[in-house]
Chains A and B, each alone.
Chain A
């Protein structure tokens, strides 16, 4: 489980698999970026 933080709008979301080609598109603002602040998280941890 990857917790991904958008560098533009700071929206956090979870993704089960690593992003394709290392890039993701923020589902909030549409910014395309390579996550640098991603971490494996347990969904039970708040």
Chain B
């Protein structure tokens, strides 16, 4: 778990206030605050912020919108702030939500700082937390209706090199095969990812690319890209 913890108060040169910095098995993690918002930096790379809300929620809402039926089972890769998980739970058809989060410190920060922002998805009785790399979650064929990946900043902007395997042919095919027919694999990206779309299409899925407006800074709006791949 946590190997080293450093807490610093007061502003850093960027105007951010560092709340906590820890070094764990997956690297260096830093929680910082800017105004009323929180940001997480992983291995020196911006990873997520509490103002990145709309596109995280859209990932779940748009993926689930295209899936028929009841009693849906959903896997979310990367808890993050918790917006995607909460948005999935807001669909009353979702019967079970598995959330895979590799980093315990992110879960701790979620509980301490983010849960109140997003509705406390880990407290929902439909939710099961996997303290695990989403790549290592055992996947059976046809076991999920939706798999939602919100790791790194997308396939082209990784914070962990090991996560490249999530977006390669083998990883994506594994997630697609875990879907029931009609199920959706959704991937979030901070930038266009044409190779991701090609890989998903080559794996036999129907791919929709959706641009979603979101805050990319507390006072600046930008675009995020959602890749929704539906299994036939």
Contacts and interface: CB of A to CB of B under 8 A. Distances in A.
B131 A13 contact: yes
A25 B137 contact: no
Contact of B138 (A1, A13, A15, A25): A1
Contacts of A8: none
B1 interface: yes
Nearest to A46: B96
B132 A27 contact: no
B132 A15 contact: yes
Nearest to B98: A43
Contacts, number: 41
A39 B212 CA distance: 42
B140 interface: yes
Contacts of A43: 98, 128, 130, 137-138
Contacts of A46: 96
Interface of A: 1, 12-16, 20, 24-25, 27-28, 30, 43-44, 46
Interface of B: 1-2, 96, 98, 104, 107-108, 111, 122, 128-132, 136-138, 140, 143
A4 B141 CA distance: 25
Contacts of B122: 27-28
| Closest 8 pairs (CB-CB, A-B) | A27-B107, A13-B129, A14-B130, A16-B132, A15-B131, A16-B136, A25-B1, A27-B104
Contacts of B1: 20, 24-25
A27 B111 contact: yes
21 contacts: A1-B138, A13-B129, A13-B130, A14-B130, A14-B132, A15-B130, A16-B130, A16-B132, A16-B136, A20-B1, A25-B1, A27-B111, A27-B122, A28-B122, A30-B108, A43-B98, A43-B130, A43-B137, A44-B140, A44-B143, A46-B96
